[in-house]
Amino acid sequence: MFRNQNSSPQAFTRTGSSFSLGSTGSESPSAACSASTPNPAASPTVRRGGANPRYQSQFKNTSQPVEDKILNNIILSKLNKFCPTTYIDIREFLYQILGSGDANLSEMTRQFMLLVFKKAAAEEIYCGLYAKLLSEISQRYEVILLEMHKLQENYLSIFDEVQQKEADEEYNTFIEKNIEKKYRCGYSQFIAELSKFEIINLSCLENIFKRIFECIQVNAVVANKETLIEEYIDCLLRMSHVFKKGISPFIVSARKSLITLCGASIEDILSKNKAHVSVSPKSRFILMDVKDNLMG
């Protein structure tokens, strides 16, 4: 599902890419980052040059678990200021956290990944930047890839409709799944951004597109599903836009594979089949853009 995890993170290289990975941590944040850096008393000191120091927690003697304090007080505060000018500062800080040797690192990393996925899904403008962040961090800490793999395996379930009867059986699950649906478009874009960095492979993208088109076709013949179908097609638009006019071998291959896989379904929906009572003119219009994006 993901790139080869047996290779050394530091030695990982990629040809033909427009970005650089495997940095040594010696870069300094830009001057623009300094205004948004928290008070030194509330965060670790970043040493300029050389190897990153281990993160020294400020919460060792509090009643709340250290990893919760780090995640909810420091990392969340950093991510709330996430933007191109703070990127290096935040990346270097996360290098320290993940290199701290904390015994509870695995659980904190899992929660960190959930947090990043939700932030990326909710912040469309920085979605690609979050993908770059995980791509670079994963070069040093492959636990990131393991957690990303787990999240991706659960990703397709957010496209499944939840029936009301499930609410009677387990209300909390019902609520949780419906909250996740609000992030469908954002998650879709983030998955595409991650695949652009070749963290997620082509078969994963193919499965996602296939699942979305299956959901569209099932609901197309059911009355009053116009809004749902528009949402599904908007997910396809977000994903296809990531690959539009890309020239890397992976993106070219992805476009070709996806249009081949989904071409028949696209034409069927665009054909104005009378049985498709819930496919609105808006849905067809958006799907035309999806087709154009995949055609390059």
Q: Residue 111 — very low, low, confident or very high, per pLDDT cuts 50/70/90? A: confident
Q: What percent of the chain has a predicted confidence (pLDDT) above 70?
A: 65
Q: Residue 74 — very low, low, confident or very high, per pLDDT cuts 50/70/90? A: confident
pLDDT at residue 189 is higher than 80? yes
Task: Give every CB contact of residue 157 below 8 A, 6+ residues apart in sequence.
Answer: 177
Nearest 5 degrees, angle CA 96-CA 99-CA 100? Answer: 85
Q: Positive or negative, the Cα torsion across 266, 272, 274, 280?
A: positive
Q: pTM above 0.85? A: no
Q: Residue 202 — very low, low, confident or very high, per pLDDT cuts 50/70/90? A: confident
Q: Residue 89 — very low, low, confident or very high, per pLDDT cuts 50/70/90? A: very high
Q: What is the phi/psi pair of residue 197, to 5°?
A: -85, 5
- pLDDT tens across 14-46, in order? 333 332 223 333 333 333 343 444 443 333 333
Question: What tokens does 46 get?
Answer: 């970043």
Q: Which of 296, 184, 205 is nearest to 243 (CA)?
A: 296
Q: Structural domain boundaries of the chain?
A: 18-183, 201-296
The full length of the chain comes to 296
pLDDT at residue 294 is higher than 80? yes
Can you give the pLDDT at residue 283? Answer: 96
Q: How many CB atoms lie within 10 A of CB 281?
A: 9
Q: Beta partners for 191?
A: none
Q: Which of 229, 249, 226, 225 is nearest to 237 (CA)?
A: 229
**Residues 114-118, mean pLDDT to the nearest whole number:** 86
pLDDT at residue 273 is higher than 60? yes
Q: Residue 234 — very low, low, confident or very high, per pLDDT cuts 50/70/90? A: very high
